[in-house]
Amino acid sequence: MEQELITLMIDSLFLDLEPADISPAAPLSDYEVDSFRILELIVAIESQFGVKFDQADITADTLESIDSLCACIRAKQAG
């Protein structure tokens, strides 16, 4: 899932990066993902993974990294 999310982030945010440039544990801010881009990424994640982010999900901890986003997505998919 991590690689799929990395590719989605690069494509949906038009980042000038390769998947190998992104560490799943690194803060998204390292890749110039600001609050506006986070909103775009959330919409793309909801569409790609068939999940819905609630207001309670939109926290600094959840949106910190690819790893933290994947954990949230997995939890939502598990029900």
Say how far apart CA 41 and CA 56 lie, in whole Å.
17
The pTM of the full predicted model, rounded to 2 decimals, is 0.91
Amino acid identity of residue 3, one-letter, is Q
The pLDDT score that the predictor gives to residue 61 is: 94
The full DSSP string for 5-73 is HHHHHHHHHT-S--GGG--TTSBGGGGT--HHHHHHHHHHHHHHHT----GGG-STTTTSBHHHHHHHH
Check whether domain 2-15+27-78 has CATH 1.10.20.140, yes or no: no
pLDDT tens profile 7-34:
999 999 999 999 999 999 999 999 999 9
Answer yes or no: is pLDDT of 79 > 90: no
pLDDT tens profile 33-49:
998 999 999 999 999 99
Q: What is the mean pLDDT of residues 56-61?
A: 92
